[in-house]
Amino acid sequence: MKCIFDPSIQVKRSSVLHLGTIGCSRAGPNVKFVTMTPQNVTQPGPAGVAPGSPGSHGSHGSLGPIMEHVRANSASLSAAEQRVARAILSDPVGVVHLSVSDLAQIAGSSPATVVRFCQALGLRGFQELKLALARESIPAERQLLDEIEPGDGPAEVTTKVLSGAANALQSAAQSVNAEAMGQVAELLGDARRIVFAAVGTSASLAADVAYRFTTIGLDASFAADVHVQHVTARMLTAEDLCFAISHTGSTVETLATVRAAAAAGAATVALTSFATSPLTELVDHVLVAGSRETAYRIEAMTSRIVHLTILDALFVLLALRQPNAQLALAETADILIEHRL
């Protein structure tokens, strides 16, 4: 671990994208420092200004309108980053609904180039760019749900939210790959051990499905702590399976866990909302189901409902196929009696 005290030292972003966190335990008033994480490189800032604070380069609030910022800085970017800028300027609303891999493909670049482009603008990554574009390009009420209008009351909002979820489920029913569902169910049933990888709003789904799989006799687990997930994945074997759940497919911690599982020889599966993402490039099997409408929302609630339903379908498939599933369910019901009046 190395601390940088010479403010004249420059560190290339491309050389640190895959490094772990580097920090300083002490810094004088005239020291510039760099904080680096796997896909989040904060540029050196003025002394005394913390990364991500209002006065730092990592805060969109100090940049002004993001579209103007992209136009103004395009000339100083590399050729690959300029292609990313042109793709964004040509369709900012469309970019809001893309994964980092989708945008890279459109721009003829790579996901790493897209991330470097975002950081060159002073943003922390692609997700912050999408949120900034959504704030500028999409009316506030439509950032909650596409069909919401400013004058909608409780009845209209409730109906539209429920209809949006129903439409997303219907779309998933028509588009989900049934063959892939069967293959994944077979892999899950044959695995010696199943470990789930997820963070943020996907974590509750992972916890729920791990418990439900346990009730039909499968050895399934989920650890909420990302360090535990990472270490556990590295301890898997070729007889085990790592199941990742991620709306965007670009969450750093989940990607690290999947890489560790793959390195250990375990089978890998992903449930995600985007067919093209860093996650889909890593795993052996992909289940794609989600809602376009929620691509820029932090919580991605509708996609969570879709993912929960896909996981429920896997549970039913396994319950039908596992020879001891009914006995395990009966034992589970018997135990739960003790916890209810």
274 with 249: CB under 8 angstroms?
Answer: yes
Burial pattern 202-222, b for ≥16 Cβ within 10 A else e, equals bbebbbbbbebbebbbbebbb
pLDDT of residue 175: 87
Rounded distance between C-alpha atoms, residue 134 and residue 257, angstroms: 30
Query: 69-126 pLDDT, tens per residue?
Result: 888 888 788 999 999 999 999 998 888 888 899 999 999 999 999 999 999 888 988 8
DSSP state of 224: S
Which two three-digit tokens encode residue 36?
Answer: 């680096």
Which parts of the chain register pLDDT below 70?
1-64, 138-148, 291-300
Give the CA-trace dihedral at 143, 104, 307, 327, to 10 degrees.
Answer: -160
Identify the pLDDT of residue 223: 98
Q: Read off the pTM.
A: 0.66
Residue 20: its pLDDT value, please?
A: 34
Q: What is the CATH number of domain 160-337?
A: 3.40.50.10490
Q: Which fold has domain 1-138?
A: Arc Repressor Mutant, subunit A (1.10.10)
- The residue type of 112 is A
> In the chain, where does DSSP find H-type helix?
66-73, 79-90, 92-96, 100-107, 111-120, 126-137, 154-175, 178-190, 203-214, 226-234, 252-263, 301-321, 325-337
126: CB partners within 8 A, 6+ apart: 100, 103, 114, 115, 118, 250
Confidence at residue 32, expressed as pLDDT on a 0 to 100 scale: 38
d(Cα 246, Cα 201) in Å, to the nearest integer?
A: 9
pLDDT for 156 equals: 85
- Please choose, from the candidates 284, 296, 179, the residue with its C-alpha nearest in 3D space to the C-alpha of residue 247: 296
- For 287, phi then psi, to 5°, come to -115, 115
In this prediction, residue 241 carries a pLDDT of 98
Question: How far is Cα 85 from Cα 324, in angstroms, rounded to an integer?
Answer: 56
The answer to whether the CB of 47 falls within 8 A of the CB of 32 is yes
The per-residue pLDDT for 186 is 97
Q: Return the bridge partners of 41, or none.
A: 36
* Summary count for the chain: helices (H), strands (E): 13, 7
End-to-end C-alpha distance for the chain, whole angstroms: 56
Helices 66-73, 126-137: axis angle to 10 degrees equals: 120
pLDDT given for residue 5 in this prediction: 38
Q: What pLDDT, on a 0 to 100 scale, did the predictor assign at position 292?
A: 53
Residue 56 CA, distance from chain mean position: 25
Residue 145: the pLDDT is 52
Using an 8 Å Cβ cutoff, are 119 and 43 in contact?
yes
Q: What residue spans define the domains of the chain?
A: 1-138, 160-337
pLDDT at 300: 62
